[in-house]
Every structure is written in C-alpha cells, then in structure tokens.
Amino acid sequence: MKSHWFKFISPLLILFVVHSANAIQQDSLQIILEERLTSSEFDQKEDILEYLKMTGELYSQSPTDALFYVTALEKKLDAEGNQTARAKIISQIAAFYWFQGVYDAALQRYFEALKLYKEENNSLEIVKTLNNIGETYKKQQDYKQSAKFIKLALEKLKEIEGFSPELITVNLGQLFLLRENFDSANYYLNQILKKENASTNSKGFTNLYKGILNREIGQYDSAHYYLNQSMSYWNELNYNRGLSESNIEIANIYVEEKNLKLANQYLNEAENLAIKINSLDLLLKIYQTKIDIFKITASNDSLVYYFDKYLEIKDSIFNSESRAEINKLSIQYNLAEKENDRYKLALEQAQLTNKIEKRTQFLIFLIVVLIFAVILILYLRNKSNQLKSAHIKLKQQKEEIEDKQRKISSKSLDLARVNKELHSLNKNLEQRVGERTQKLNERNRQIAEFTYFNSHKLRAPVASVLGLINVMELAKDGKIDPQLLNYLKTSAMELDKVIFNLKNLLELDDEIEEGVN
C-alpha cells in the first residue's frame, strides 16, 4: 500500500520541486537584474554582455519581463549618454520582438543595429544582422526583400574566414520552400544534411524544413521522419519555439490524413509552448489550423472561439506599429513605477523568496537524503562485493607468493652449496697451478741444460761424418776405404743415438704440457 502511495505522490513532489526551482530561478534572475540596473555603471562591454545573457535566460521563463529589462537598460544608458555595446542591446531587443512575432518592431531594431555594426566595421555581426533581416522579411512573406538580404549576407560572408554559413544556407532552403521551388530548396537543405559537423541548431531547422517540404509533396512518411528528427534536436537545445513549430507541422500532416484527434493533440502541445514564449505568429498558425479542424467537425462554438482568438492575434501582429508604441509607453510607465517602488518590491520579493526557499530546501533536502541513502546502500553493496573479490584475490596472491618464497629459499640453499664447492675448487686449483708451475719451471731448466749438452754432442758426430766424407772425396783411386766406412757408420750411429735421446726428451715435454692443461 505504501509503495502505491509513494508511486502516486512522487511525480507530484518532483513536479512541485521543479516548478518551485523554476520560480525561484526566475525571481532570483529578476532580483539580480533589478540590482544591476540600479547599482551598476555598465562602463565595460563585458558587464552589458553578461546582463544581456541573463535577460536571454529570463526570456524562456518570462518573455515580457525579459523585454522589459533589456529595454530598461537601453533607457538607462541613453539617459547617461553611454553608447557602450549599444548595437548588442538593440539586437537583443529585436530578437525578443522577433520571437514574439512583432516583425515590424523587430525590423526597425535590426536596421538600427545594422547601422551601428557598419560604423564599427564588425563584419561578423553585419552578416548575422543581414541574415536576421532576411528572415524577418520572410516571416512577413516579402520573399523578394528576404532573398535580397540573405544574398547580401552570403556576399559579406566571403570577407570572413572560418565562419560557417550553415544557417544562411538553411534560410535559403526555406525561402525556396516558401516560393514552392522544391528542387532548389532540397539542394540547399541537403548541403546541411551532408555535413557531419553541422551544428545542432542547423540540423534542427534543416529537418524541420525537410519535413515541411515532404508534407507539401505528399510524402507523409518522410515528413514524419524529418519532423521527429527536428524534435529531437529541439529537445537537445531546449528550444521551445522550434518544438512548437515542429508540433504544428506534424498536426498539419494529421489534418491532411484526416486524423483530427492526433492533430488536436499536437496543436495543443504547440499552443502551450507558443503561449509560454509569447510567440504571436505561431499562435496565429495554430488558431488557423484549429479553425480548419473545427470547420471539418462542424463544432461551431469552438470555431467561433478560435476565430476570435485568431482575429485578436492577427490585429496585434499587423498593427505592430501601434503595438510598439504602446509597448514603449508601457515600458516607460512601468519603469517609473518600478523606480518608485523598487525597494519595497525587492523587500517583498526577498521575503517571499525566503519562504519559498525554506520550504523548497526542506523538501529538496528530504529528497536528496533519500536519493543519497539509496545511492549509499548501492555503493556499499557494490563496495562489499569488490572487497570480497579483492580479499579472495589477495589470498590467492599470498599463497602464490609464499610458494615462490619457498622455491626461492630452496634455490638459495642450492646456490650456497654450489658456491661453497666452487670456492673449494678454486682454492685447490690455485694450489695445483702453483705446484705445476714450479715443476714446469724446473723441467724447463733441465731441458735447457740437456739441450745445451746434446747440441754439443750432436755436433761431434756430425763433424766426424763431414770429415770422413771429405777424406773420401780426396781418395784418388775412387775406392772407399773400409776403415773409413766403419768410422762413418760409427759416427752415424752416434748421431742416431743423440737424435733418439733428443726425441724422447721432446715427447716428455709434450706430456708435461698436457698434464698442466
């Protein structure tokens, strides 16, 4: 029972927290903008750009307040004669008017900004502003002027290095789509689809226009595909205007397919988003489609209701000059009122914010504690499993290390034994080498003496043999005396004996050398 109750109440709690957080963020942004508007000097461009960034964040929550604060900044700087970043301020105001569908006021501001950017010679901002002017003319269905300024932006773009003309290319594709030149539209839009590094913003618009193009030529499956793709990109960017436009186009497909129930669902979603961002031109398209649906269903009450709303929005858009003047007077009045009641309002807002913050913080604290507890339990469980696994691994590693230590100890003992044997052998070897060296020295001495002695003994028989040979040569009758022959034989035998002794001596020397080795 408790789990069912928790499942029911948890989405409400989350919704309440998100809503409270958004309200706090909106209030805190307004308080910061109020404080900066009164206390800051805005002498530095960076201060103005930061202020404009905050108004941009506020626009998604409260378009009217965002337009008020950026216009109030313009008035403040005009009164002080401060021209710092004036072109940026005017561009921001123009963009806010554009998002709300007040295109005449947006055009007026864009042309003012364009003049200032030309004076600054800021080529990049000139290109962006020319493109924005072309887009604004396109929304007013003045396609000739739109093409003119988009082409001017492309020509100016040639002077800038490293700037991608993605959005300008997309805008050209949409322009040809509106003029029903589908081949040219496909050409420019496919250029963006082929780019791998195209920005998310460019991909969103490209898929949106491809979806519209395929709906126009009756290819509804492809149209659904591209429009759903664009929705994914808008969700990624949190771009409510794009989401509203994609919902409108999907609704138009269902109208053509006669699925009016689904068409109404998508139109209701688009209407909620358009109201949230105060986009009058999108509301005009939504109410026009609603009128077409209720004409088919013959629901007269709904038809009259939406027809009145359609006329109200149409009058608001097409009388934008008076609307801009009214806005101007209203802003001046509000600025004076806010100036008088500034501190009182700030105090009331601070008190209210504190109450909301305390309640919200308590609720957030409870939710955070619960989430943290769940995460902690999961973390501790995971950590416990990891520790068990690590313990098992450490135990295995310990056993392996102990086994290796035993093997190393055994090998160390073997090495010690071998080292001891080698040491003993080295000692014996040194002793044996010394003894043999002494014997060799003694033998060499004996050999030297013996060789000296035998060399003299060898010379005596050789001299005798030579002498006898000379005597034999001197015999005149050519006969050999037997006595001389005996002497020669005796000398030869003595010589042979000496050579034999010498040979034995040399063989003994070889044996000694082999023994040493």
Question: DSSP string covering 106-142, please?
Answer: HHHHHHHHHHHHHHHT-HHHHHHHHHHHHHHHHHTT-
Give the model's pLDDT for residue 404: 84
Q: Which residue has the higher pLDDT, 310 or 22?
A: 310
Q: Confidence band (pLDDT; 50, 70, 90) for 269?
A: very high
Q: Confidence band (pLDDT; 50, 70, 90) for 267?
A: very high
Average pLDDT, integer, range 10-34: 55
Average pLDDT, the chain: 78
Average pLDDT, integer, range 451-475: 69
Give the model's pLDDT for residue 253: 92
Please report the DSSP string for 442-482 in residue order: HHHHHHHHHHHHHHHHHHHHHHHHHHHHHHHHH-SS-PPPH
Q: Reply yes or no on whether the pLDDT at 321 is more than 70.
A: no
Give the model's pLDDT for residue 422: 82
Least reliable range by pLDDT among 13-17, 144-148, 511-515? 13-17
Q: Reply yes or no on whether the pLDDT at 503 is more than 80.
A: no
Q: Confidence band (pLDDT; 50, 70, 90) for 398?
A: confident
CA distances from 192 to 68, 301, 316 (A): 36, 45, 35
Q: Confidence band (pLDDT; 50, 70, 90) for 512?
A: low
Give the model's pLDDT for residue 8: 41
Please state whether the predicted TM-score (pTM) of the whole model is above 0.85: no
Give the model's pLDDT for residue 44: 83
Q: Confidence band (pLDDT; 50, 70, 90) for 244?
A: very high
Give the model's pLDDT for residue 211: 93
Q: Which residue has the higher pLDDT, 143 or 345?
A: 143
What pLDDT, in 10s, does the model give residues 24-69?
Answer: 455 678 888 888 878 777 878 888 888 888 888 887 777 888 888 8
Q: Reply yes or no on whether the pLDDT at 98 is more than 50.
A: yes
Give the model's pLDDT for residue 517: 55
Give the model's pLDDT for residue 229: 94
Q: Reply yes or no on whether the pLDDT at 508 is more than 70.
A: no
Instruction: Round to the nearest angstrom and report the end-to-end CA distance of the chain.
Output: 102
Average pLDDT, integer, range 186-199: 87
Tokens of 128: 């962006």
pLDDT above 90 coverage of the chain, percent? 13
- Provide CB contacts within 8 A for 253, sequence distance 6+: 215, 220, 223, 224, 227
CA dist., res. 122 & res. 85, Å (int): 12
CA dist., res. 180 & res. 194, Å (int): 22
